[in-house]
Amino acid sequence: MSENKKAVEEITSMDENFAKWYTDIVKKAELMDYSGVKGCMVIEPYGYAIWENMVSALDKKFKELGHQNVSMPMLIPESLLQKEKDHVEGFAPEVAWVTHGGTEKLQERLCIRPTSEALFCEHYAKTIHSWRDLPKLYNQWCSVVRWEKTTRPFLRSTEFQWQEGHTIHETPEEAKHETMQMLSVYYDFFKDYLAIPTIKGKKTESEKFAGAESTYTVEALMHDGKALQSATSHYFGNHFAKAFGIEFQNRDNKPQNPYQTSWGCTTRMIGAVIMVHGDDRGLVLPPKIAPTQVIIIPIAVKKEGILKKADEIKERLTKICRIKIDNSDKSPGWKFSEHEMRGVPLRLEIGPKDIEKNQCVIVRRDSLEKIIVNLDDVETVIPELLEKVHAAMYEKALARRSEMTHEAHDFEEFKNISENKVGFIKSMWCGDEKCEKTSKEQTAFTSRCIKDDENKIDDYCAICGKPAKHLVYWAKAY
């Protein structure tokens, strides 16, 4: 018991210091380690296993929709990057440059990719000639580098893992459909795999991706009430095609510029899972992305027949779930604490008395509820419990977001909420960037997304009082 208590106390309480709590978890659950390069992290095996499960699910969905994986170079010539003015200006402060090859200075600087629009456009310009060549539905899994001033593991790092989809189409209607389709893919993934509810909407002009005609986002709310931009989908129109000279012969045998999209998500999804579901015991992992879904803890391992029975249970469940046995020489209490720290969704305890009664004890990580299960029923009960854990985690996160979503009808109310509460503020907005700037300067709340598919709450802007154009969600954000 004392060992278990000691292990739990190693995590700072989230109510005491949320930032320290987060750092404690990513370190003590062995998700990552710091590297010798500031802002760059080592993703350790357990953290990478979580990422791999995310990659596997998303990659399968992308391919079902007709996308193909490709690999573009890491380095971008400066002259190529400069072709789209808004794009290069948007990324200029974050770009890392290669200036030398060995001891020789390069004739042209090379940018380490912060994103790959320029590279895809260069490729498209060479390979697209006719409307019959379209669409191209590409995606790549890679790392990118953005020279961040302030970094935090998984949430914002100098180098990070991500996927970037790049598609090019014959018509604007096809490209717009692709943009919204991929936004829905992310929305569903967060709900169905990460048990995280998100707000799906459009970014304002000041918040959209550099070079895009429009940017769409899914925004999640963390346990501390801050928002996290969790995935984005961009409609480029034909701006990039014109800048990079991409043309094709259309169905009337006339030259035409195609229309493009880009969409992506990153390892910050791991940070989202931690900050939405974690507690003072550690990680709480959604079952579908947990590296181990069930951990078997044999009790009194030295007694005859205990490990044999544990192996039998594992063998029966291997085809149903990702399962392991902890047969180390640590005490049961220590093991309980360790696997709670690592967020394993279900713990299956089996001891001498359980074997006598042909039963086991299953403990849910999300609620710590203990359930006695007949050993004859484990194949049926385990999948049902994994589904129940996921559903309960989603509903809990949804209820918390609902509690932390507030309406503001004028700026005094807006400021009062920002000073005394955390979470989203819903209000009407006139569309003027000056009001966004006012909110940011006076409350630190930024526009997260426009929600034109929700009912108006007023006819006037909550910040300036002028006629309103949009309903907007605002929040402090990571």
Q: Give a yes or no: residue 409 inside a domain.
A: yes
Residues 450, 350, single domain; the answer is: no
The confidence score (pLDDT) of residue 3 equals 43
Q: Give a yes or no: residue 369 inside a domain.
A: yes
CA separation, residue 298 to residues 309, 320, 331, 352, 363 (Å): 9, 20, 10, 9, 14
Question: How is residue 280 written in tokens?
Answer: 């003072």
pLDDT at 1 > cutoff 60:
no
Return the residue matching tokens 């598609």: 167
236 with 262: CB under 8 angstroms? yes
The per-residue pLDDT for range 275-313, each reduced to its tens digit, is: 999 999 999 999 999 999 999 999 987 788 899 999 999
Instruction: Provide the number of structural domains found in the chain.
Output: 3
Residues 133, 247, single domain; the answer is: yes
The confidence score (pLDDT) of residue 428 equals 98
Segment (H or E) for 132: none
CATH assignment at residue 247:
3.30.930.10
Residues 331, 465, single domain; the answer is: no
Residues 305, 272, single domain; the answer is: no
What residues does 75 pair with on adjacent strands?
Answer: 112
Kind of pairing between the strands at 136-145 and 159-169: antiparallel
Residues 306, 264, single domain; the answer is: no
For 115, the domain range is 9-277
3-state SS record for 258-297: CEEEEEEEECHHHHHHHHHHCECCECCCCHHHCCCCEEEE
pLDDT at 90 > cutoff 80:
no
The per-residue pLDDT for range 444-454, each reduced to its tens digit, is: 999 999 999 99
Residues 307, 453, single domain; the answer is: no
Q: Give a yes or no: residue 1 inside a domain.
A: no
CATH assignment at residue 455:
3.30.110.30
Q: Mean pLDDT across the stretch 388-401?
A: 98
CATH assignment at residue 308:
3.40.50.800
The per-residue pLDDT for range 236-246, each reduced to its tens digit, is: 999 999 999 99
The per-residue pLDDT for range 163-210, each reduced to its tens digit, is: 999 999 999 999 999 999 999 999 999 999 999 999 999 999 999 998
pLDDT at 256 > cutoff 70:
yes
The confidence score (pLDDT) of residue 6 equals 45
Length of the chain: 478
Instruction: Round to whole Å and give the CA distance between 256 and 171.
Output: 10
Amino acid at 131: W
Residues 364, 451, single domain; the answer is: no
Residues 177, 235, single domain; the answer is: yes
Question: How is residue 190 written in tokens?
Answer: 């967060």
Q: Give a yes or no: residue 128 inside a domain.
A: yes
Residues 377, 419, single domain; the answer is: no
392 with 423: CB under 8 angstroms? no
Question: How is residue 344 written in tokens?
Answer: 């394993």
- SS3 of 158, please? coil
Q: Give a yes or no: residue 252 inside a domain.
A: yes
pLDDT at 337 > cutoff 90:
yes
Residues 60, 139, single domain; the answer is: yes
Residues 313, 411, single domain; the answer is: no
The confidence score (pLDDT) of residue 7 equals 46
The confidence score (pLDDT) of residue 25 equals 97
Q: Mean pLDDT across the stretch 76-83?
A: 92
Residues 46, 138, single domain; the answer is: yes
